[in-house]
Amino acid sequence: MHRLFDRRIIFVGGKGGVGKTTIAGALALMAADGGRTTLLVSTDPAHSLGDVFDMPIGNEETPLGPNLSGLEIDPEAEAERHIATVKMSMKSLVAPKMYGAIDRQIELARHSPGTMEAALLERMADLMVDARSRFDLLIFDTAPSGHTIRLLSLPELMAAWIDGMMSYRDRSRRLGEVLKVFSRDQSKEDGFGMIGGSQDEPDDSRDGRIKEILMTRRRKFHRARELLTDASTTAFLLVLNAERLPILESKKTLDLLSKFNVPVAGMIVNRLLPPDAGGDFLRERRLQEDEYREEIDQTFAGLRRIYLHLLPHDVHGVETLREIGEAMAEQLGGAFGAAKAP
Amino acid sequence: MKWADIKEKLRWCAYLASEAYNMPYRSTVARARREQDDLFMLLIFSEMMGIPNPATYYTLELQPIMLERFHDWHTRMGMEHSPLDGFRCC
Ligand SMILES: Nc1ncnc2c1ncn2[C@@H]1O[C@H](COP(=O)(O)OP(=O)(O)OP(=O)(O)O)[C@@H](O)[C@H]1O
Ligand SMILES: [Mg+2]
């Protein structure tokens, strides 16, 4: 088993409110304290990293302490940038009286249902590929399960989609070759390749640009997918509480993660009642909790598990995060690889 | 008639024969190619026509390149006018 912090990418996921942001923050702090340059990235549109660290963090990498930076991805800003680029290049191709129409047209893309997700994934993929040169470790504090699973399945879907588009282009090009043989010197064949003639850019240059755009896309998706499914690079940590719904949802999430070949490194059972908490009410709750703990131990027996108690106060600021980090390190000993390998 | 003229005539006949022979194939191939191209356009512009497409965001940058083909495409798809509100390419 690889030590956790020898991975380059850690995803912290789970149902809403179970403690993902808290655990991601504690892990990031622990890794940074151990000497690893770490970037902690929130992909949850309802960001709360800044609240936990008690500092404003935004769509730019923000220093949070020695070896540690934070980032809250803003998919809207990302989409804005992408859409602005496309608008510009469209306008360079048409008469100015068309500008208004193009603006309206491209605006539609901004409001299409998949846009925010696509923009978020794009930024994540860029980080997974590029941040490696600047950071030892990338920790993603993710949005509640469903959203994240969908996001993690997108690279595969998109790679297949782009493959499909490229195969249409390839077939068209091959048929075009055949047509050339039929009609050596005639150039009025149909197909995009040849219609229209002079005012268009030459086919080869257009074909080349299309191909390049598609190839770049495909390369990025394949690369993200490779990193995501490589157990020596990526670890998914699933956070849950000893309660019925988080257990049910964790089962589903694990099934989906294994379907998409995302390596799961372990589970963190958070917010357990402290053993010394007294009173009839808590005694009863603890009885129920014990049953769920047992269920967790049986259901997820194959996975490494860490147990964390409910603290008497909210998690706020680095001191509490360190406290949680220590509790995790205690249970795993060297398995975190908290000290950076020489 | 000179030998060269005969050769020229023969070549002409051969050309006509091959044209007659190739014609149906050529239009079949041309149609097959057009179909591939139309499908490709559909993948890029489908969302504008209300067909959800998960890849629209990632292929948005292909739209400018395909813009000048847009008119040919939508007329061929049986839509006389641009399906895009306010986007009058015709
Ligand atoms: N071990 C703990 N002891 C005490 N409070 C905790 C503990 N873990 C988490 N909390 C508190 O529980 C709340 C939810 O935690 P957190 O924000 O980390 O969950 P989350 O899974 O990121 O939630 P969301 O799904 O909304 O992003 C916070 O107020 C946090 O301070
Ligand atoms: Mg959170």
Query: How many CA atoms within 13 Å lie on the side-chain side of A171?
Result: 17
Lowest mean pLDDT among A16-25, A211-220, A257-266, B48-57: B48-57
Whether A68 maps to a domain, the answer reads: yes
ipTM confidence score: 0.72
Whether B83 maps to a domain, the answer reads: no
Q: The domain containing residue A241 runs over which residues?
A: 2-76+131-152+232-274+301-332
Is a pLDDT exceeding 70 seen at residue A281? yes
Whether A258 maps to a domain, the answer reads: yes
Do the chains contact at B58 and A118, CB–CB below 8 Å? yes
3-class DSSP assignment, residue A316: coil
| pLDDT tens readout for residues B47-86 | 777 777 778 888 888 887 787 777 777 777 776 666 554 4
Nearest-angstrom CA–CA distance, A91 and B49? 21
Whether B23 maps to a domain, the answer reads: yes
CA A169 vs CA A190, B28, B70: distances in Å: 15, 18, 16
Which residues, at least 6 apart from A191, have a Cβ–Cβ distance to it below 8 Å? A172, A175, A176, A179, B30, B33, B34, B37
Q: How far is A190 from chain B (nearest CA, A)?
A: 6
| pLDDT tens readout for residues A1-30 | 458 888 999 999 999 999 999 999 999 999
Displacement of CA A131 from its chain's centroid (Å): 13
Our count of domains for chain A comes to 3
Residue B20 contacts A where some CB pair is shorter than 8 Å: no
- Cβ–ligand 1 distance for A22 under 6 Å, the answer yes
Confidence at B43, pLDDT banded by 50, 70, 90: confident
Our count of domains for chain B comes to 1
Whether B39 maps to a domain, the answer reads: yes
Q: The domain containing residue B27 runs over which residues?
A: 3-76
Whether B82 maps to a domain, the answer reads: no
Percent of chain A surpassing pLDDT 90: 50
Q: Are residues A164 and A178 in the same domain?
A: yes
Shortest CA distance to A331 belongs to which of A304, A298, A296?
Answer: A304
Whether A249 maps to a domain, the answer reads: yes
Do the chains contact at A217 and B69, CB–CB below 8 Å? no
Please tell me the pTM assigned to this model.
Answer: 0.84
Q: Are residues A26 and A55 in the same domain?
A: yes
Residue A124 contacts B where some CB pair is shorter than 8 Å: no
Whether B90 maps to a domain, the answer reads: no
Do the chains contact at B57 and A165, CB–CB below 8 Å? no
CATH of residue A31's domain is 3.40.50.300
Q: Are residues A145 and A262 in the same domain?
A: yes
Between positions 215 and 254 of A, the ones with CB within 8 A of B are: 217
Residue B29 contacts A where some CB pair is shorter than 8 Å: yes
Q: What is the rounded average pLDDT for all residues in chain A?
A: 86
**Of the segments A146-155, A240-249, B36-45, which one has the largest average pLDDT value?**
A240-249
- The count of residues in chain A is 342
Displacement of CA A52 from its chain's centroid (Å): 20
- Cβ–ligand 1 distance for A270 under 6 Å, the answer yes
Confidence at residue A158, expressed as pLDDT on a 0 to 100 scale: 86
Q: Are residues A161 and A218 in the same domain?
A: yes
Q: Are residues A249 and A268 in the same domain?
A: yes
Nearest-angstrom CA–CA distance, A192 and A214? 17
Nearest-angstrom CA–CA distance, A29 and A39? 10
Residue A122 contacts B where some CB pair is shorter than 8 Å: yes
Whether A244 maps to a domain, the answer reads: yes
Residue A238 backbone class (left: φ over 0; alpha: ψ -120 to 50; beta: rest)? beta
Displacement of CA A173 from its chain's centroid (Å): 36
Strand boundaries in A169-328, DSSP class E: 234-241, 264-272, 305-309
Q: Are residues A248 and A322 in the same domain?
A: yes
Q: Are residues A31 and A62 in the same domain?
A: yes
Which ligand lies nearest to the CA atom of residue A51 in the structure?
1
- Cβ–ligand 1 distance for A271 under 6 Å, the answer yes
Q: Are residues A50 and A177 in the same domain?
A: no
Is a pLDDT exceeding 70 seen at residue A191? no
Q: How many contacts (CB atoms, under 8 Å) link A and B?
A: 135
3-class DSSP assignment, residue A282: helix
Whether A46 maps to a domain, the answer reads: yes
| pLDDT tens readout for residues A43-76 | 988 899 999 999 999 999 999 999 999 999 999 9
| pLDDT tens readout for residues A78-127 | 999 888 888 887 777 777 777 777 777 777 778 877 888 889 988 999 99
Whether A176 maps to a domain, the answer reads: yes
Q: Are residues A162 and A146 in the same domain?
A: no
3-class DSSP assignment, residue A277: coil
Q: Are residues A8 and A148 in the same domain?
A: yes
Confidence at residue A197, expressed as pLDDT on a 0 to 100 scale: 36
Do the chains contact at B26 and A183, CB–CB below 8 Å? yes
Confidence at residue B80, expressed as pLDDT on a 0 to 100 scale: 67
Shortest CA distance to A32 belongs to which of A302, A286, A314, A340?
Answer: A340
Q: Are residues A83 and A148 in the same domain?
A: no
Q: What is the rounded average pLDDT for all residues in chain B?
A: 76
Whether B35 maps to a domain, the answer reads: yes
3-class DSSP assignment, residue A140: strand
Confidence at residue B19, expressed as pLDDT on a 0 to 100 scale: 67
Do the chains contact at A104 and B87, CB–CB below 8 Å? yes
Whether A193 maps to a domain, the answer reads: no
Q: Are residues A10 and A101 in the same domain?
A: no
Confidence at residue A319, expressed as pLDDT on a 0 to 100 scale: 93
Shortest CA distance to A42 belongs to which of A67, A24, A65, A16?
Answer: A24
Q: How far is B5 from chain A (nearest CA, A)?
A: 23
Displacement of CA B60 from its chain's centroid (Å): 21
Q: Which residue of B has its CA nearest to A206?
A: B65
Shortest CA distance to A293 belongs to which of A231, A234, A244?
Answer: A244
Q: Which helix (H) or strand (E) holds A295?
A: helix A280-299
